């Protein structure tokens, strides 16, 4: 009760009372600090505390070549320390006069998921928990309604009669919604059409994951784990170098291969020849031929205006 | 300058000391909240070390209960404006005292919002990438960058307005209008914007048909103006209860005496009395010598001992009192509870409102110590108030009281009533559009309201919310909710209903089914839930401490004038 209580609590007049109140205050403060320390204890379980160097690292586009060289060296050291293998990390730039396009033949795809696993191996994706960039949808013949798709099909033999298979991965949109929503410019589109992520700049808000209409983005919900003997040492900064806990990743058309003149791993591994990849600005390329000559090709969710660089087509 | 800084530090120190003092109820409440905060901190440390795998979220449902709470609380913060608009635009008197409570709630809610966003980040150590100038700020393209600006801006605006008004009240100084009124009007627009921006966060995503609807923005505002004022009603009722100075229905010591001023020594006033008044009320100096001489016969000087009653609630006499020496506490009884509305020291007035209006006394004034007051009849006061400086100060001080009337609560009830009706109407519009037209894009709505392919985790929740909201709406329309008990029930229904509808009921179904048609359900993990409880506890703790400090300031009991005197004891405000 506010009124009159000043009379009930006499002011600390003698030393005995003030000593007692001092002891009581220190007991409360001490217990509080002990409880605070106890609640902070789980931080001790952290084994990947960011170093000052990593904490202060600059944004990709603001790094000078010298900065980048230093960072690449550091990444090589970190990978070597963690996985016991010296990687070769590069920062490959887009090539002039190149716009990558992907074409996928739905008539040919047999749903074997070899692309899924080749992708995991090539791009140093976490094995526990396993992160996959490609999701193959098993669809009943006659419909492109993805709500009818089966995601976790597991028959003894593929393909199954009455179904076709549609692998979905990052569609490398010309108007990517994920890039627009990122609050810190951690993901952007390069001149060759590939949307990339600076894994060291991403804050892990997952707004891009919510924005993506193709469910192409993956988040590192915990520290990624890759067996030492499964590391692919040929790495690039914006591509397949090992990621850390709490950042986004996704398909980047195997930037470490395609910017060095090779095909993506999924194209190479496909046993059915369903996957075609190339430069749309090169009129003699396979993809140019397909887009010119196939009567129908499909851009997934065309109505959203994202304009994917990933085209599905049929042999008709 | 140095003196001003020292004064301000003294103010902060006294506020801090006040926050640490209270009765056993206050300590129990604050202690329980502190324990919950620590549990939440512990859970967050686990998440910080091991990653967001400790939550129930997945790549399919990549936002969960953190963002749901964030969305709800942005609404609560925005709703503070519903108290500000009636007071600053329509000059409502009843809500005037309570504006500060609304704004303090906004501050606490924004603190919770910022915490909920922070715990949702995968890399909280990289928060500086979000700071404009230091990091890379994707403004104006990213709605999240807008949210960073509007939330922090709104926090600063409200901290400035509350802090400035409270400090002025503490100093018993008139706030400079140019220093806060422009900010009040900016804050009104800003409040609408924080919630609109948060709605646009969802609305702007073309790949999520459940969110990609223009009606989400208006729905957010309607639900915010329901849940926010409902929360303020509950908070105010808690404040009213814990600031009552006697249990409900119990008579105060002075009650039951014969009416009228007894045991009071009266005498005619002299010019010396008026001169001593000028010392504490410099504005009185503007009253000319002749005027003073002329009014002298009307004035009386009263000397009373501590505990004596100077005027009684319900009585009708016409005098205003100006304190010459000592201190008078003014208390009001409403719904069986006594509460301190004002504390007047030398140079300050009491009894002026009913005196000028000729209405029955609204409160009882009791001398806290041996006190000398100047009694001024209403007509004389009117004459005196022709002098402009005196008129200004007396009018300004009329507002310096903490009434928290039942009528103020009824005004808030009207706001909740209208907002809830609009909210239900907008929900009906949305549900009709979705289900009548049909099509593929309604899968999320089907999942939410009816269940999809055997998955119906959210169905019981959303129907609970709908039942709560409809019941609340009916109760709000009925006269039943004019009784405070039923009003409390209604407010709880509103808050729970809206929390479900707009938190879990909006965020989660947006992710189900996934853009590739897969159904993966979401349940918050224990660790995630503990983090949420921790943040709510921290927010309530902040609000409790804010109220604990601001109630005595608004009552005039904590002021610069009584600096150095022993702090009044335990009790006072608590709640939240």
Domain boundaries, chain B: 33-242+405-562, 265-398
pLDDT at A60: 97
Q: CB neighbours of B214 closer than 8 A, spacing ≥ 6?
A: B203
Mean pLDDT of chain B: 90
Q: At what angle do helices B216-242 and B65-79 cross, to 10 degrees?
A: 70
Q: Which chain B positions have a beta carbon within 8 Å of A247's beta carbon?
A: 122-123
Q: Which class is domain A115-256?
A: alpha beta
Q: What's the gap in Å between the CA of A5 and the closest CA on chain B?
A: 5
Within A60-143, strands assigned E span 88-90, 100-105, 135-140
Instruction: Please name the member of B123, B443, B510 whose beta carbon is closest to the beta carbon of A247.
Output: B123
The pTM (predicted TM-score) of the whole model is: 0.93
- The answer to whether B205 contacts A222, with C-beta atoms less than 8 Å apart, is no
Instruction: Please name the member of A2, A185, A304 whose beta carbon is closest to the beta carbon of B568.
Output: A2
Q: Is A116 on the interface with B (CB under 8 A)?
A: no
pLDDT tier at A1 (50, 70, 90 boundaries)?
Answer: very low
- pLDDT of A153-202, one tens digit each? 999 999 999 999 999 999 999 999 999 999 999 999 999 999 999 999 99
- pLDDT of A73-103, one tens digit each? 999 999 999 999 999 999 999 999 999 999 9
Tell me how many degrees the CA angle B335-B339-B344 measures, rounded to the nearest 5: 140
Q: What's the gap in Å between the CA of A62 and the closest CA on chain B?
A: 10
Q: Give the best residue of A203, A213, A223, A247 to mutate against chain B (max B CB count within 10 A).
A: A203
- The answer to whether B123 contacts A177, with C-beta atoms less than 8 Å apart, is no
pLDDT at A187: 98
Q: CB neighbours of A238 closer than 8 A, spacing ≥ 6?
A: A60, A91, A92, A190, A196, A197, A198, A252, A255
Which residue in B513, B560, B518 sits closest to B346, CA to CA? B560
pLDDT at B572 over 60: no
pLDDT tier at B233 (50, 70, 90 boundaries)?
Answer: very high
Instruction: Please name the member of B57, B129, B246 whose beta carbon is closest to the beta carbon of A203.
Output: B129
Give the chain A residue nearest B548 (alpha carbons): A2
Q: A 57-96 residues with CB below 8 A of B?
A: 59
Instruction: Please name the member of B23, B51, B205 whose beta carbon is closest to the beta carbon of A211.
Output: B205
- Class of residue B114 by CB neighbours under 10 A (exposed 0-12, middle 13-18, buried 19+): middle
Q: Which chain B positions have a beta carbon within 8 Å of A39's beta carbon?
A: 38-39, 41-42, 45
Give the CATH number of domain B33-242+405-562; options: 3.40.1360.10, 3.40.630.30, 3.40.50.1100, 1.20.1630.10. 1.20.1630.10
Q: What's the gap in Å between the CA of B277 and the closest CA on chain A?
A: 27
- The answer to whether B62 contacts A9, with C-beta atoms less than 8 Å apart, is no
What is the mean predicted confidence (pLDDT) over B417-430?
A: 96
Cis status, amide bond into A129, omega within 30 of 0: yes
Choice among B390-399, B424-433, B516-525 with the minimum mean pLDDT: B390-399
pLDDT at B395: 86
What does the alpha-carbon distance between residue A302 and residue B346 come to, in Å, rounded to a whole number? 76
Q: CB neighbours of B208 closer than 8 A, spacing ≥ 6?
A: A210, A211, A213, B202, B444, B510, B511, B515
Q: CB neighbours of B220 closer than 8 A, spacing ≥ 6?
A: B71, B75, B195, B196, B198, B199, B502
What is the mean predicted confidence (pLDDT) over B5-24?
A: 91
Phi and psi at A52, nearest 5°, equal -60, -40
CATH superfamily to which B265-398 belongs: Jelly Rolls (2.60.120.10)
- The answer to whether B126 contacts A203, with C-beta atoms less than 8 Å apart, is yes
Q: Are B82 and B225 in contact (CB under 8 A)?
A: yes
The DSSP H or E segment spanning B224 is helix B216-242
- The answer to whether B514 contacts A215, with C-beta atoms less than 8 Å apart, is yes
pLDDT at B262 over 60: no
pLDDT at B574 over 50: no
For residue B298, count other CB atoms closer than 10 A to its CB: 16
Domain parsing of chain A, residue ranges = 115-256
What does the alpha-carbon distance between residue B239 and residue B233 come to, in Å, rounded to a whole number? 10
Phi and psi at B333, nearest 5°, equal -110, 130
Distance of alpha carbon B449 from its chain centroid, rounded?
Answer: 34
Q: What's the gap in Å between the CA of A103 and the closest CA on chain B?
A: 19
pLDDT tier at A9 (50, 70, 90 boundaries)?
Answer: very low
Q: B 25-64 residues with CB below 8 A of A?
A: 34-35, 38-39, 41-42, 45-46, 48-53, 57-60, 62-63
What does the alpha-carbon distance between residue B67 and residue B202 come to, in Å, rounded to a whole number? 11
More confident of the two residues B116 and B306? B116
More confident of the two residues B413 and A316? B413
Q: Tokens for B282?
A: 């410099």
């Amino acid at each position: 009760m506010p009124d009159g209580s000043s009379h009930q609590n006499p002011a600390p007049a003698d030393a005995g009372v003030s000593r007692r109140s001092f002891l009581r205050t220190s007991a409360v403060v001490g217990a509080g600090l002990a409880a605070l320390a106890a609640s902070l204890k789980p931080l001790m379980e952290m084994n990947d505390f960011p170093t000052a160097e990593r904490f202060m690292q600059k944004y990709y586009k603001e790094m000078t070549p010298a900065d980048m060289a230093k960072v690449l060296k550091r990444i090589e050291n970190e990978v070597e320390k963690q996985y016991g293998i010296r990687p070769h990390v590069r920062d490959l730039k887009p090539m002039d006069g190149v716009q990558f396009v992907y074409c996928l033949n739905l008539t040919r795809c047999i749903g074997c998921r070899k692309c899924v696993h080749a992708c995991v191996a090539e791009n140093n994706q976490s094995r526990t928990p396993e992160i996959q960039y490609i999701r193959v949808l098993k669809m009943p013949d006659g419909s492109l309604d993805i709500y009818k798709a089966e995601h976790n099909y597991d028959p003894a033999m593929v393909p199954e009669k009455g179904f076709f298979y549609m692998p979905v991965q990052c569609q490398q949109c010309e108007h990517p919604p994920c890039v627009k929503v990122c609050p810190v410019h951690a993901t952007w589109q390069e001149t060759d059409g590939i949307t990339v992520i600076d894994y060291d700049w991403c804050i892990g808000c997952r707004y891009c994951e919510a924005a993506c209409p193709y469910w192409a983005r993956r988040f590192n919900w915990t520290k990624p784990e890759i067996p030492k003997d499964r590391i692919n040492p040929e790495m690039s900064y914006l591509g397949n170098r090992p990621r850390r806990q709490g950042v986004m990743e996704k398909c980047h058309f195997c930037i470490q291969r395609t910017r060095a003149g090779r095909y993506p791993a999924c194209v190479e591994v496909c046993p059915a020849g369903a996957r075609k990849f190339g430069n749309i600005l090169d009129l003699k390329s396979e993809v140019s031929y397909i887009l010119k000559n196939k009567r129908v090709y499909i851009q997934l969710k065309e109505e959203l205006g994202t304009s994917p660089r990933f085209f599905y087509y049929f042999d008709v | 300058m140095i003196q001003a800084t020292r004064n301000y530090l003294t103010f902060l120190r006294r506020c801090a000391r006040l926050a640490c003092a209270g009765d056993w109820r206050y300590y129990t409440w604050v202690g329980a909240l502190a324990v919950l905060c620590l549990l939440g901190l512990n859970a967050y440390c686990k998440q910080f070390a091991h990653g967001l795998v400790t939550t129930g979220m997945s790549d399919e449902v990549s936002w969960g209960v953190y963002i749901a709470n964030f969305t709800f609380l942005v609404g609560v913060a925005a709703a503070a404006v519903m108290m500000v608009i009636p007071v600053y635009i329509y000059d409502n008197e009843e809500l005037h005292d309570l504006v500060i409570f609304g704004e303090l709630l906004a501050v606490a809610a924004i603190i919770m919002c910022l915490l909920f966003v922070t715990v949702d980040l995968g890399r909280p150590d990289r928060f500086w990438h979000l700071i404009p100038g230091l990091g890379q700020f994707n403004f104006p393209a990213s709605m999240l960058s807008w949210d960073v600006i509007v939330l922090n801006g709104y926090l600063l605006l409200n901290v400035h307005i509350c802090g400035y008004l409270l400090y002025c009240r503490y100093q018993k100084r008139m706030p400079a209008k140019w220093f806060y009124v422009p900010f009040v009007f900016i804050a009104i627009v800003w409040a609408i914007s924080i919630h609109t921006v948060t709605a646009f966060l969802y609305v702007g995503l073309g790949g999520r048909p459940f969110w990609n609807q223009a009606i989400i923005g208006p729905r957010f505002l309607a639900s915010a103006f329901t849940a926010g004022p409902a929360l303020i009603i509950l908070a105010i009722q808690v404040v009213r209860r814990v600031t009552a100075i006697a249990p409900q229905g119990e008579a105060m010591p002075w009650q039951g005496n014969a009416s009228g001023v007894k045991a009071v020594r009266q005498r005619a006033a002299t010019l010396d009395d008026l001169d001593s008044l000028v010392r504490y009320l410099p504005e009185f100096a503007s009253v000319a010598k002749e005027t003073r001489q002329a009014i002298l016969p009307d004035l009386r000087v009263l000397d009373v001992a501590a505990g004596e009653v100077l005027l009684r609630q319900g009585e009708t006499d016409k005098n205003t009192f100006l304190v010459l020496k000592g201190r008078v506490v003014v208390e009001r009884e409403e719904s069986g509870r006594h509460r301190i509305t004002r504390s007047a020291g030398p140079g300050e007035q009491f009894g002026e409102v009913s005196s000028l209006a000729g209405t029955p006394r609204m409160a009882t004034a009791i001398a806290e110590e041996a006190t000398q007051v100047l009694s001024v009849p209403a007509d004389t006061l009117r004459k005196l108030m022709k002098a402009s400086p005196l008129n200004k100060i007396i009018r300004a001080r009329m507002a310096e009281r903490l009434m928290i009337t039942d009528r103020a609560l009824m005004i808030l009830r009207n706001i909740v009533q209208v907002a809830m009706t609009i909210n239900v109407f907008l929900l009906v519009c949305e549900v009709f559009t979705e289900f009548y037209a049909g099509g593929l894009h309604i899968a999320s709505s089907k999942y939410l309201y009816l269940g999809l392919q055997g998955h119906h985790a959210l169905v019981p929740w959303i129907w609970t919310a709908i039942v709560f909201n409809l019941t609340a709406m009916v109760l709000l329309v009925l006269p039943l909710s004019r009784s405070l008990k039923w009003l409390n029930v209604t407010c709880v229904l509103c808050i729970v209903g809206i929390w479900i509808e707009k938190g879990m009921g909006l965020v989660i179904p947006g992710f189900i089914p996934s853009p590739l048609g897969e159904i993966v359900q979401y349940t918050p993990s224990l660790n995630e839930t503990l983090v949420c409880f921790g943040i709510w506890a921290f927010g309530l703790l902040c609000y409790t401490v804010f109220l604990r400090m601001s109630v005595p300031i608004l009552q005039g009991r904590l002021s610069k004038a009584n600096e150095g005197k022993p702090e009044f004891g335990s009790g006072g405000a608590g709640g939240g």
